[in-house]
Amino acid sequence: MNKKIRVSFIYGILCIIIFLLFIQSNKSSDKYNKNVREIKAKVIEVDDSNVVKAGVSAIGFQELKVIAVNSNYKGETIDVENQLVGKLDYDNYYKIGDIIIIAVKTENDKIIDAKAVDLYRQNYLGFIFLVFVILLIIYARSIGVKALLSFICTMFILWKFLIPNLLQGKNPLIIAFVTLFALSAIILFTVAGFNKKGISAFLGTLSGLLITLVLTMVVGDKLGLMGMTSPYAETIVFSGYFDLNMKYIFYVAIIIGSSGAAMDIAMDVSSACQEIKNKKENITQRELIKSGFNVGRDVIGTMTTTLLLAYSGGYLTLLMLFQIRDSSFTRIINMKIISAEIMRTLIGSIGLVIVAPITAIIAGILMGTKVIKKLD
């Protein structure tokens, strides 16, 4: 077994361990519903007599008869209620044969109440993830395994460090900095290794993100955005988290949203500089920096548009609504939610423009050859 295969095997084992820890750590009991658990079930009967339909929406409740397909209650028939509130983004209208998730309340190991939660989509999502993993490893091989490790580590850190600390009311900016520092180090050093290429990409990413964070705070205050335009922000606050600094959490969301693209550009520029250095060992720092600048310009040309398309895709239906109502440009651009998304896109793009030259400069200094003038 050669060195690359051994390293890939070790990284693969780490991926599995971290993923299992992630799954197991999310099986803790809910402190507010200690006797409630979720199980998978198949719908075998549906009673819609208490449902009132109005167009595509429905109000009322379905009475379902389901059969449990996992857990200690496998094979048991359960009566389940499915509440319909007329909101298509929340409601699920079930039919016979559907595999669903139900929440059951137990007492002395007997089910005393059950409600439908949602369709069971986990298998399909797992299949898509498996396809992603296979394609990644087939194409990128050992680098793909490393990328998968950084992917799983990112999920773990966001879910187990960033979000819990934000909910505890700790300073979002400090928590975000620690998170991005850790993520940048894990992602970049795992893929590139702890070398001049990895260090250049890491320092370039952090420098760009810090400048972007300062710019976000300045512009956010000027625009009067308090962070409540983010999805489910009100739901979080009215769930008892009144002391959260939603404005700073909104700022953190902007920086985290652009951090992935920033790392991408930093790695592109750093890798290009490393390749140039490998082909021309005696290249000077100035020449290498210039080459890094040229690569950065080409990458930025497409990456800024990528951010615009990503954010626009998330609000595509809202943009369609504006066209339907023939809203004026002035009204659209000054709406709080639109101003927030424009700020998110532009701040992220500015961050990318900053990351590229900073990375090129750092890479040129670390990798390039100093010009030593000979004295006569």
What are the tens digits of pLDDT across the range 297-341? Answer: 888 877 777 777 777 777 777 778 878 877 788 888 888 888 888
Q: How does residue 58 score in pLDDT terms, banded at 50, 70 and 90? A: confident
How confident is the model at residue 18, as a pLDDT? Answer: 63
Q: Where do you find CATH 2.40.50 in the chain? A: 36-120
How confident is the model at residue 350, as a pLDDT? Answer: 87
Sign of the CA dihedral running 177, 180, 186, 191: negative
CA-nearest of 356, 340, 267, 339 to 304 is 356
| 362 exposure class (CB count in 10 Å sphere: 0-12, 13-18, 19+) | buried
Sign of the CA dihedral running 147, 152, 155, 156: negative
pLDDT tens profile 225-251: 877 877 778 888 888 888 888 889 988
Percentage with pLDDT > 90 across the chain: 28
pLDDT at 28 over 70: no
Centre a 10 Å sphere on the Cβ of residue 236 and count the other Cβ atoms it contains: 18
Q: How does residue 374 score in pLDDT terms, banded at 50, 70 and 90? A: very low
CATH architecture of 36-120: Beta Barrel (2.40)
> 159 versus 89: which is more confidently predicted?
159
Contact 41, 102 (CB under 8 A): yes
pLDDT tens profile 351-370: 888 999 999 999 999 998 77
Give residue 372's region: left, alpha or beta (phi > 0; psi -120 to 50): beta
Q: How does residue 7 score in pLDDT terms, banded at 50, 70 and 90? A: low
